[in-house]
Every structure is written in C-alpha cells, then in structure tokens.
Amino acid sequence: MSNFKKVKVEQGARFELHDALELTGAEVSINELPKGAGVPFVHSHRENEEIYGILEGCGRAEIDGESVPLAAGDWLRVAPAAKRRFFAAENSPIKYICIQVKAGSLKNYTATDAEIV
C-alpha cells in the first residue's frame, strides 16, 4: 500500500477529488464557470466550512444576500450555515478550487503537526 496517490485533473465544469484521491478528511473540487454563468442552486452545509481559492478569471459570490467580488488570487472562507452561490463575470470565465472540511475539526496544523524525520 502506498502512502500517496496522484491523479490528473480533467478539464470540465467540475472535478471532485474525494473519490479520485480517496480523501478521508476533506472534499476538494475544481470548478469552472463560463462567462456569465452561475451555479444553478443556492446551498449551505450542516457541518462543513468551505474554502474557495480563485485560480483564474473573476466573478462574484452571493453569501447570505451579500455580493462579494472575486478575482484570481482571492481566497474566501464560508461558514457552514451561510447560504452561498457563485457566478462568473459577464466578460470573464472563472475557475476556482473549493476545499470542504468539518468546521472546528483542525486540532493541529503544519507548525504543530509536522515532525522532522
């Protein structure tokens, strides 16, 4: 059994890495919206916070009725209960990564969890 798994992300509107990488503590997806398009639903979560990283392009998020502009290089954390929806700008597609993890579950991070071997 290997201690790692590598996959190639395919082009497309959405690619979920949970099953592809056999993730056990997070869901990660790569998402693309064409110019002027939007996610066709509003959603929230019961337990999971989401971290969004804008990889290319620009657009906006609607979070609890507030419009939040987004551009390449922006990172955004959204609490589980927040109602959210994402849109590409009329003149630009948008590509973003979404990392979903259980809110409050991180006990350690790089500085406190890593060990030099």
- Kindly state the percentage of the chain with pLDDT values over 70: 99
Round the average pLDDT of the chain to a whole number and report it: 93
Question: Residues 6 or more apart from 17 whose CB is under 8 A from it?
Answer: 7, 9, 23, 27, 28, 29, 30
13 vs 53 pLDDT, higher one: 53
pLDDT of residue 9: 86
pLDDT tens per residue across span 59-80 = 999 999 999 999 999 999 999 9
Q: Which helix (H) or strand (E) holds 81?
A: none
pLDDT tens per residue across span 30-43 = 999 999 999 999 99
pTM value is 0.89
pLDDT of residue 1: 58
Domains located in the chain, CATH noted: 24-103 (2.60.120.10)
Instruction: Check: CB of residue 14 under 8 Å from CB of residue 30.
Output: yes
